[in-house]
Amino acid sequence: MPDKALLENVIQVRTVKRDVTPLIGFEGAGLDDEKRLFKRLNETFELIAGGKRPPMYLVILMPGFRPFAAVEAPDSGPIPNGMTAYTIPADDYVVFGFEKAHVGLFWSSICTEDNQKKYNIDLAKPRFEIGTPELETAGLIEWYIPIRR
């Protein structure tokens, strides 16, 4: 069993209320598809952001732990060929911030029944990470997990 005290020493936790966030991107069949999806998303920047690097989202869709690599959808225009749309629902989220080096510890610990109760999170709903240049430069990750209702 992961060391609960260790998890608490490496994460920062806060809650946020987020509005609806429309996304466009590429969906995979399983978690092993993540790198391929982001490679494809990087190659598509010209179509979706005029070459600028927007924040990237990794959404884990349920059921089935399907990865969705995406960026925020433009306000208008068609969805580029080969991409799909997904909308992150407005909701209250627990945000877990930690160094990339602790990603394994985070996922092996947060999924325990005790931690799901402690943080009041709903792992049956889609959850997501937002990758910004600032977080990447600092070597940090932030995961947004819906609060259980």
Q: One-letter amino acid identity for 125?
A: K
Mean pLDDT of 85-112: 93
Q: Are residues 99 and 56 in the same domain?
A: no
Tokens of 54: 């927007």
On whether the CB atoms of residues 22 and 62 are closer than 8 A, the answer is no
Q: What total number of domains does the chain contain?
A: 2
Q: Looking at the structure, do residues 33 and 84 belong to the same domain, yes or no?
A: yes
41-50, 53-62, 124-133: the lowest-pLDDT one: 41-50
**Sequence-ordered list of residues with C-beta below 8 angstroms from that of 50, at least 6 positions apart, any chain:** none
Give the domain-ending residue among 62, 88, 114: 88
Each as own residue / partner, the long-range contacts of residues 81-85 (CB below 8 Å, 24 or more positions apart, any chain) are 82/26, 83/24, 83/25, 83/26, 83/44, 83/48, 84/24, 84/25, 84/26, 84/27, 85/22, 85/23, 85/24
Res. 7 pLDDT band, cuts 50 70 90? confident
Chain mean position to CA 89: 13
Say what the alpha-carbon torsion angle 83, 84, 85, 89 is, to the nearest 10 degrees. Answer: -120
Whether residues 100 and 78 share a domain: the answer is: no
Residue-level pLDDT at 47: 62
Both 68 and 56 in one domain: the answer is yes
On whether both 135 and 110 belong to a single domain, the answer is yes
Whether residue 96 is found in the same domain as residue 143: yes
pLDDT of residue 99: 94
Residue 37 pLDDT:
97
Which domain range does residue 126 map to? Answer: 1-15+92-149
| 69/117 same-domain check | no
pLDDT at 69: 97
Q: How many CA atoms lie within 13 A of 24 on its CB side?
A: 18
- pLDDT of amino acid 52: 66
Statement: residue 51 has pLDDT above 80: no
Please say if the pLDDT value at position 70 is more than 70.
Answer: yes
Cα dihedral 74→86→56→82 (10° resolution): -80
Q: Which helix (H) or strand (E) holds 46?
A: helix 45-49
Nearest-angstrom CA–CA distance, 12 and 142: 9
